[in-house]
Structure 1
Amino acid sequence: MLNVLISIAALAALPAAVSAQEGRNMDITRKADMKTVDGPEEYFTGKATITGQFQREAPSRVTGAIVHFEPGARTAWHTHPAGQTLIVTEGVGWTQVEGGPKLEFHAGDILWCPSEHKHWHGATPHEGMTHVAIQEAIDGKNVTWMEKVTDEQYNAPLGKE
């Protein structure tokens, strides 16, 4: 099932035209052609990399990327105007919506954060984590970055769902 989800997510990240049957085109970005960049220091604590970042042309509003977090790495607090789906492909991570409990998730899990909910996510201190992040852009914007997650917030005890 996870391979199917990864394949579906990979189809969303496609840009070199490959002819398909009946004259339709499918865009494919080959793994070897994807660029990997470091997560900007102002938006991430620790080592995070972003691969295959994409934004679809209108009428689609879909954007996304594959994000890998080394142990201890995490995002800053942020929101998404139309929410965000995370498909976890490797490792173990933590996430928290402001005012809610810190929760743990694992490879194979799918997370949904509703629109405009301030949240963060990242790896645990002892294990890295990779996820496919998918969100929509509204008026050209898919994220609003905020302050960094403090060590006290990151290291707080896990809550209950």
Structure 2
Amino acid sequence: MTVSNGRIGFIITLGLLSLCLQVGKAQPTTTGTKPVTGSAIFPKGEKGSAQTFTGTVWVQSLVENDSIYQLVSGSVTFEPGARSFWHSHPSGQVLLVTDGIGYHQLEGKPRQVVRKGDVVKCPPNTPHWHGASADSPMTHIHIIPKTEKGIVRWLRAVTDAEYTGAR
């Protein structure tokens, strides 16, 4: 059986993420120079841009894009009420919710509640958004495959009515 380097990288990434999720409550440790404490799996990262997020969001890159694996992955932590702008990915996106309670919505579909342990598939070229609920932070790991097709196309901010699920 022949497996491409991209597929091997994707399988390795999923395996490592699965292992991390099974560890449970982590003991204080250090990843590089950034401390990880409490139940956090990865460092919080850098504050997200107001050009792509509403509210306070922290973004930590986990797998940088390269020509061998052709995928990117990162951990995103949304404080309560924070959310991404509408956006899409040429090859889709997989979200692994690692903590908290939040929302996810595909364009034209109702807003969905997501919780720790949920896995969300965002289809290719489909506008969507995700973020924390009003009362809880939410952290997810994102995986974007086939980056040779592109990574993300940012659109507009999510309105308060869209965020609350009002029709």
Q: Quick check: TM above 0.5?
A: yes
- Picking from 59, 66, 85, the partner of 1:57 is 66
Report the RMSD for the aligned CA atoms in angstroms. 2.4
- Picking from 24, 37, 48, the partner of 2:57 is 48
Percent identity among equivalent residues? 34
- Output one character per residue of 1:90-127: Cα deviation in whole Å (capped at 9) or x when no partner: 00010100100100010011111110010000000000
SS in 1 for 2:113: strand
SS in 2 for 1:125: coil
Alignment of 1:99-110 (within 5 A): 99-110=108-119
Distance apart, 1:155 and its partner CA: 1.0
- Identify the residue that residue 85 of structure 1 maps to in structure 2: 94
Name the CA distance, whole Å, in 2 between partners of 1:94 and 1:157.
Answer: 13
Name the CA distance, whole Å, in 1 between partners of 2:128 and 2:97.
Answer: 16
Q: 1:96 to 1:71 in 2, by over 3 A?
A: same
One-letter amino acid of the structure 2 residue matched with residue 44 of structure 1: F
Distance apart, 1:32 and its partner CA: 3.5
Distance apart, 1:7 and its partner CA: 6.3
Q: How many residues align?
A: 136
- Identify the residue that residue 23 of structure 2 maps to in structure 1: none
Distance apart, 1:6 and its partner CA: 8.0
Name the CA distance, whole Å, in 2 between partners of 1:157 and 1:8.
Answer: 38
Pairing 1:9–2:34 present: no
Alignment of 1:6-155 (within 5 A): 8-9=16-17, 31-33=31-33, 36-139=45-148, 141-155=150-164
Do the aligned residues in 2 keep the contact of 1:83 with 1:116 (CA within 8 Å)?
A: yes
Do the aligned residues in 2 keep the contact of 1:37 with 1:51 (CA within 8 Å)?
A: yes
- Identify the residue that residue 3 of structure 2 maps to in structure 1: none
Name the CA distance, whole Å, in 2 between partners of 1:58 and 1:7.
Answer: 20
Instruction: State the TM-score, normalized to the length of structure 1.
Output: 0.76
Which consecutive unaligned segments of at least 5 residues does structure 1 have? 12-29
Do the aligned residues in 1 keep the contact of 2:110 with 2:165 (CA within 8 Å)?
A: no
One-letter amino acid of the structure 2 residue matched with residue 122 of structure 1: G
Do the aligned residues in 1 keep the contact of 2:90 with 2:149 (CA within 8 Å)?
A: no
- Output one character per residue of 1:108-154: Cα deviation in whole Å (capped at 9) or x when no partner: 11111110010000000000000001102534731000000001110
Which consecutive unaligned segments of at least 5 residues does structure 2 have? 1-12, 20-29, 35-42
Instruction: State the TM-score, normalized to the length of structure 2.
Output: 0.73
